[in-house]
Structures are given as structure tokens and as C-alpha cells.
């Protein structure tokens, strides 16, 4: 019985560590990947780190996800220059290196209607101290994100603890 508890605690702590390091971002929040979603407000204050994942949730067949190769293609909704495309309705994209990536809907005219997001990934562990560009409000956003993380962590600990008590 005791060894089961230890194994469980180890598994839980691995889970917590992974959770603290990488986050999953459902694009558009509860509204998902949809023409009616305001992606700019969803993006505001979000920080994407290496190792995080993007999840696009939508009705398959109605929308799709395409990755565009350049800022210009993104601006012009040039959905002809596609780097990658997905259409399962629950597409997961791993942000595996720092930099900017561009995603849009592949359905005709949806990109022009606003179904596009520009995701800038920062190195994991580093505080998002962007040196020169985009100095809009880095201090407030980083404070907000660390606040939400410090809220999630004790919550997971509490769940882990109560599950351990049940064993
Ligand atoms: Cu669409």
C-alpha cells in the first residue's frame, strides 16, 4: 500500500512539473477557432513559451488551420502560400522554438474576416523581457501570467494531496 502511494506521488509530481513548464493554449478560449471570435482580445496578455501547445478547436469541414510562412502572407491573407495545414477539428501545434508563427483559416474569406492569429513564442524559463520591439505592456502581462500560474500550482497540489489521502 505504501509503495503504491509513493509511485502515485512521483507520477503526480511529474505531472505537476510538466504542467508548470508547458501550457496548452486553446486558441480563442471557450469560443474556439471561429469566425465570431475576437482573436486580438484573446491574444492580449498571453505569453507563449517554447514547449507550449496551441489547440485549435472547431467544427471540422467548416474551418481549417493553415500555417503561413511570412508576415506579408499573414497580412494579405495569402492562403495560397501554405507551410502546413490541418483539418481534424482539434489540431494541436507544438511551439518548439522561439519566434513568430502565423496561422489562419483555410476556408475562403475567413482569414479576411479575422480568422487569423500571429503567435510569438519566447524561450522557456526566460522572463519575457523583449529588449527593443513591442514594448506595449510587458510588465503588467508578465505579472498577470505569473499570478495565474501561482494560482494553478497550489490547486494541483491540493488535488494531488486529496487523491493521495484516498489511497
Ligand atoms: Cu474559418
Dist. CA 69 → ligand 1 center (Å): 18
Domain ranges, ordered by start, for the chain: 2-166
CB-CB neighbours of 93 under 10 Å: 19
Task: Kindly list the protein residues that place their beta carbon closer than 5 angstroms to ligand 1, a single-atom ion.
Answer: 63, 105, 107, 110, 115
Dist. CA 65 → ligand 1 center (Å): 8
Q: Which three cell numbers stand for residue 150?
A: 501561482
Dist. CA 157 → ligand 1 center (Å): 39
> So what's the pLDDT on residue 106?
96
> Per CATH, is 2-166 categorized as 2.60.40.420?
yes
Q: How far apart are CA 83 and CA 112, in angstroms?
A: 18
Dist. CA 90 → ligand 1 center (Å): 13
CB-CB neighbours of 147 under 10 Å: 9
Dist. CA 56 → ligand 1 center (Å): 11
Dist. CA 40 → ligand 1 center (Å): 16
Dist. CA 139 → ligand 1 center (Å): 34
Dist. CA 51 → ligand 1 center (Å): 26
SS (H, E, C) the chain: CHHHHHHHHHHHHHHHHHHHHCCEEECCHHHCCCCCCCHHHHHCCCCEECCCEEEEECCECCECEEEECCHHHHHCCCCCCEEEEECCCEEEEECCCCEEEEEECCCCCCCCCCCEEEEEEECCCCCCCCCCCCCCCHHHHHHHHHHHHHHHHHHHHHHHHHHHHHC
Dist. CA 159 → ligand 1 center (Å): 38
> So what's the pLDDT on residue 148?
47
Measured in Å, how far apart are the chain's first and last C-alpha atoms? Answer: 8
> So what's the pLDDT on residue 153?
56
Reading the chain (167 residues) residue by residue, the pLDDT tens digits are 577 676 556 656 656 555 566 899 999 999 999 999 999 999 999 999 999 999 999 999 999 999 999 999 999 999 888 999 999 999 999 999 999 999 999 999 999 999 999 999 999 875 544 444 443 434 334 444 444 455 555 555 665 666 566 66
Amino acid at each position: 500500500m505504501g509503495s503504491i502511494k509513493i509511485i502515485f506521488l512521483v507520477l503526480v509530481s511529474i505531472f505537476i512539473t510538466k504542467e508548470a513548464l508547458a501550457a496548452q493554449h486553446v486558441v480563442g478560449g471557450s469560443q474556439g477557432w471561429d469566425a465570431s471570435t475576437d482573436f486580438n482580445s484573446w491574444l492580449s496578455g498571453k505569453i507563449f513559451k517554447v514547449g507550449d501547445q496551441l489547440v485549435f478547436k472547431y467544427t471540422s469541414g467548416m474551418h481549417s488551420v493553415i500555417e503561413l510562412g511570412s508576415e506579408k502572407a499573414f497580412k494579405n491573407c495569402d492562403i495560397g502560400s501554405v507551410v502546413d495545414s490541418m483539418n481534424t477539428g482539434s489540431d494541436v501545434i507544438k511551439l518548439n522554438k522561439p519566434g513568430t508563427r502565423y496561422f489562419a483559416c483555410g476556408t475562403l474569406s475567413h482569414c479576411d474576416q479575422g480568422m487569423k492569429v500571429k503567435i510569438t513564442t519566447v524561450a522557456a524559463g526566460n522572463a519575457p523581457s523583449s529588449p527593443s520591439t513591442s514594448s506595449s505592456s510587458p510588465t503588467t502581462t508578465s505579472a498577470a501570467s505569473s499570478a495565474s500560474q501561482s494560482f494553478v500550482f497550489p490547486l494541483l497540489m491540493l488535488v494531488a494531496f486529496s487523491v493521495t489521502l484516498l489511497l
